[in-house]
Chains A and B, each alone.
Chain A
Amino acid sequence: MDNQKKNNQFQATMAITKASLSSIFRSPSAVVFSLLFPLIFIVVFGFIGGGGISVDVGLDKKSDTTNAIIQALKGENSGVRLNTTDSQEDMMTNLKKGSLDAIINVQQIADKTGKYKVMVQLSSASPKNGQVFNSMLQGLVNRINFSDNNIPDLKVQMDRPQIIEGRAYKSIDFILPGQLGFSLLASGVFGTAFVFLSLRQTLVLKRFFATPIKRSGIVIGEAISRTLFALAGSVVIILIGKFAFGFTLINGMVTFINMLILCTLGLIIFMGFGFVVSGLAKNESSVPPLANLITMPQFLLSGTFFSISNFPGWLQPVCKVLPLTYLNDALRKVAFEGQNLWEVHTQIFIILAWGIGVYALAIKVFKWE
């Protein structure tokens, strides 16, 4: 009989998911906030930032030129203009002026194991592009290090660049993860808060209580529905970003899936905030102030539009405590630098820690009627 009960609860929960999903898709505000707004920002910033990335990099005169890295940089679609003609002195001058973004020097390591060392010089005069190049290079190095290769033991070691910490870049690769993260936050907080407040106030919840479904079934059904909706939106945003604006998914399908996993995790945590708000709000007009209290600071301070390194030192701790900061960071690292989920485990753990705290609070304040 117990299996039958579980089956019944599952069927009931799925009925709620189906109804809720139909309801969300027909609600114009949900679609607008989750999809339209992020896309508008992406289009605007995408056009501002220009099509692809293009950095000017000088090739150190002493550098080895036959290795795979330099070959890749010389390629048509690398996004790098490799300068091989200027003299070393000129290149250094240009680097200081900022008309050259970086100088790269690849050396074979003397122990004849076939390993290479990459050294990069950046400039404070061109921090944006320098940082972009450094990230690109890191991605390139990772690809080479972990790819199947006919050449045995070709390992590349990359030194830390001499000058680091540029300001934010304005390319699509920075903007899209930020917009994605924010759209998940908005959907999770506002969407969940409004839906549950409305269900509670219009006595829809009360009517459900008179049926055999358990309370947890109602919450889970709604949560699944919102997650499916947000994931659908995320997929649309990423695909439009990739095919219309050249957003980088550096390891293709694997990166895409990793991003969706991060999105799901972020959304689940953000829904916790939504549950808290729906419990605290007394009516519909109380929802926006509470929800904005949670979303606005993150909109501004979590690296949605520009890197948090732009903010003064005293504000940094605030930025570094917000969950969206870590989601955006993880999304960027996965998409652009090709990191896998284990490599962003710090960000994931912090997001999870927030999740535990938020859900503990939600269980206390959530109201059923």
Chain B
Amino acid sequence: MNNSKKIITVKDLVKKYDKLTAVKGISFEVYEGEIFGLLGPNGAGKTTTLEIMETLRDKTSGEVLIDGFNVDKHQQDIKKIIGVQLQAAGYYPNLTLNELLSLFSGLYNRKIDKMEMLGMVGLKDKAKAKHKELSGGQKQRFSIATTLINDPKIIFLDEPTTGLDPQARRNLWDLIREIRDKGTTVVITTHYMDEAEQLCNRVGVMEKGEIIAMDTPDKLIDNLIASGFERKKEVKKANLEDVFLALTGQEWKDE
């Protein structure tokens, strides 16, 4: 990983709202082609950090470079090379998926093969369905499709699997890995530990506006065990989630 170029650098980032300091001076890098996760409880400042990187929010101080572009000075350049999935974002509800893809294709000035895009996320048969008719899992998949329209270098996903059942979550993880394997850098925020562990090449743990640890998931775990930690309960070789998946397992299962 250290041979890859740093595609995002964040230095001493601070974000203050009137009386609250949401981000208290954090620094980190993201390498090209990795899946980088910001892990932490709600209110830790993950979404704020993400939105600053996405040019959706102004920062109070610090420096953020996205593929070499400064977030203060080159917003248009950054918008062209990133894809963004917001938490709980909507679209014109009455439009079909095809029409929404046309809309984003116009916004990014990019001609796209709509069927191919929908195929990437397993929604080909829903091309003519209206957005409001989709299930939660399908909506999340569609929003990932919209992040890829401009063939971005980096995509930012804010809590991509919140509210999804285990099957849908696994499917989405596979999709995210595929996207990473094609060369796109992925930055996600999550409060799901298993998601961070399974998906991310490196994880930054955030709490109350600060990064309290940053490493690969394996090393973080190793470090903890090395400090003498012992799990209280004996761990079986399988858990209930594995049972559920074994019993119901199908590709792209929808509600």
Assess whether A92 is interfacial by the CB under 8 Å rule: no
- For residue A210, CB closer than 8 A to chain B, the reply is yes
Q: How large is the interface on A (under 10, 10 to 19, 20 to 34, 35 or more residues)?
A: 20 to 34
CB distance from B76 to the nearest CB of A (A): 6
Q: Assess whether B90 is in contact with A209, with CB atoms less than 8 Å apart.
A: no
CA of A213 to CA of B94 in the docked complex: distance in angstroms? 22
Q: Mark B208-240, 1 if CB is under 8 A from A, else 0.
A: 000000000000000000000000000000000
Asked if A211 and B89 sit within 8 Å, CB to CB, the answer is no
Interfacial chain A residues near B99, Cβ < 8 Å: 19, 22
Q: Are B86 and A207 in contact (CB under 8 A)?
A: yes
- Give, as a whole number of angstroms, the nearest-CB distance from B133 to chain A: 13
- A204 located at the interface, meaning its Cβ lies under 8 Å from any Cβ of chain B in the complex: yes
Q: How far is the CB of A55 from chain B (nearest CB, A)?
A: 49
Shortest A4–chain B CB gap in Å is: 9
Binds B, one of A8-16, A136-144, A332-340: A8-16
Question: A238 to nearest B CB, angstroms?
Answer: 28
Whether the Cβ atoms of A26 and B94 lie closer than 8 Å is yes
Tell yes or no: A316 within 8 A of B by CB: no
Beta-carbon contact of B76 and A23 below 8 Å: no
Residues of B near A310 (CB, < 8 A) are none
A16-B95 in contact (CB<8A): no
B201 within 8 A of A: no
Please determine whether B90 and A211 come into contact, CB atoms closer than 8 angstroms.
no
CA distance A26 to B132 in the complex (A): 13
B80 on the A face (CB < 8 A)? yes
Decide: A210 near B92, CB < 8 A? Known: A15-B105, A15-B107, A19-B99.
no
- Across-interface contacts of B76 in A (CB, < 8 A): 212
Closest to B76 in A: A212
Cα A209 to Cα B57 with chains together (Å): 10
Contact of B108 among A14, A19, A212 (CB under 8 A): A212
Taking the closest CB of chain A, its distance from the CB of B115, in whole angstroms, is: 19
A208 touches B107 (CB 8 A): yes
Asked if B56 contacts A209 (CB within 8 A), the reply is yes
Convert A137-161 into 0s and 1s, putting 1 for each residue whose CB lies closer than 8 angstroms to a CB of B. Answer: 0000000000000000000000000
In the docked arrangement, what's the CA distance between A247 and B90, Å?
44
Q: Would B89 and A207 count as touching, CB distance under 8 A?
A: yes
What residue in chain B is nearest A218 (Cβ atoms)? Answer: B107
Q: How far is the CB of B107 from chain A (nearest CB, A)?
A: 4
B residues in contact with A19, CB < 8 Å: 92, 95, 99-100, 102-103
Cα distance, A208 to B55, chains bound together (Å): 12
162-209 of chain A: CB within 8 A of chain B = 202-204, 206-209
Question: In the bound complex, how far is the Cα of B82 from the Cα of A56, in angstroms?
Answer: 75
Residues B88 and A203 in contact, CB atoms below 8 Å apart: yes
Q: Which of B55, B88, B106 has a CB less than 8 Å from the CB of A11?
A: B106
Indicate which residue in A23, A206, A208, A213 contacts B95 across the interface (CB closer than 8 Å).
A23
Alpha-carbon gap, A209 to B55, bound state (A): 8
Complex Cα distance, B99 from A159, in Å, reads 61
B177 within 8 A of A: no
The 8 Å CB contact of B84, one of A15, A27, A210, A212, is: A210
Complex Cα distance, B100 from A20, in Å, reads: 10
Residue B91 is within 8 A (CB to CB) of chain A in the complex? yes
Interface presence of A282 (CB below 8 A): no
Give the distance to chain B from A283, nearest Cβ to Cβ, in Å: 15
Asked if B21 is an interface residue, CB under 8 A from chain A, the answer is no
Q: How far is the CA of A208 from the CA of B82 in the complex (A)?
A: 13
Q: B175: shortest Cβ distance to chain A, in Å? A: 19
Supposing A20-B92, A26-B94 touch, asked if A15 and B103 sit within 8 A by C-beta, the answer is yes
C-alpha spacing A16/B86, complex, angstroms = 19
| 8 Å CB interface, B139-157 against A | 146
Q: B146 to chain A: which residues have CB within 8 Å?
A: 207
Chain A, residue nearest B104 (CB)? A211
Q: What's the Cα separation between A15 and B92 when bound, in Å?
A: 13
A23 to B94 Cα, complex, angstroms: 6
B170 CB–A CB distance under 8 Å: no
Taking the nearest CB of chain B, how far is it from the CB of A209, in angstroms?
A: 6
A14 to B86, CA, bound (A): 24
A26 to chain B, nearest CB (A): 4
A131 to B107, CA, bound (A): 55
In the complex, given contacts A15-B103, A210-B84, what are 9 additional A-B residue pairs having Cβ atoms less than 8 angstroms apart? A11-B109, A12-B107, A15-B105, A15-B107, A16-B106, A19-B92, A203-B88, A206-B89, A212-B109
* B interface residues with partner A (beta carbon < 8 Å): 54-56, 76, 79-80, 82, 84, 86, 88-95, 99-100, 102-109, 146
**Complex A-B: 15 CB contacts under 8 Å:** A12-B106, A12-B107, A15-B103, A15-B106, A15-B107, A16-B103, A18-B106, A203-B89, A204-B90, A207-B89, A208-B107, A209-B55, A210-B55, A211-B104, A212-B108
Q: Which 3 A-B pairs have the closest CB atoms?
A: A15-B106, A202-B90, A210-B84
User: Residues of A at under 8 Å CB distance from B?
Assistant: 8, 11-12, 14-16, 18-20, 22-23, 26-27, 202-204, 206-213
